[in-house]
Amino acid sequence: MALELDASLLEILACPACHANLSVDYEAKELVCNSAKCALAFPIRNNIPIMLIDQARDTRLTRERT
């Protein structure tokens, strides 16, 4: 299933942890916080962003391992 998110939705969504803008990672099917201090990645399931902090992945941990 191809990832489809409405552009107007992306304009109003913000990171629930720090309120920064989000970018779409189409390959990982995630919305990623643009703040380097936060950098949480929120999963997108069935074209619905799951904007729950406890469901988010901390991308800083992934970057530190590589």
The pLDDT assigned to 6 comes to 87
pLDDT single digits (tens) 19-59 = 999 999 999 999 999 999 999 999 999 999 999 999 999 99
Element (H, E) at 56: none
- Look at residue 57 and tell me if it is in a domain: yes
Full residue range of the structural domain in which residue 49 is found: 7-65
Is position 1 within any domain? no
Structural domain includes residue 47: yes
Among 13, 14, 32, CA closest to 23: 32
The CATH number linked to 58 is 2.20.25.10
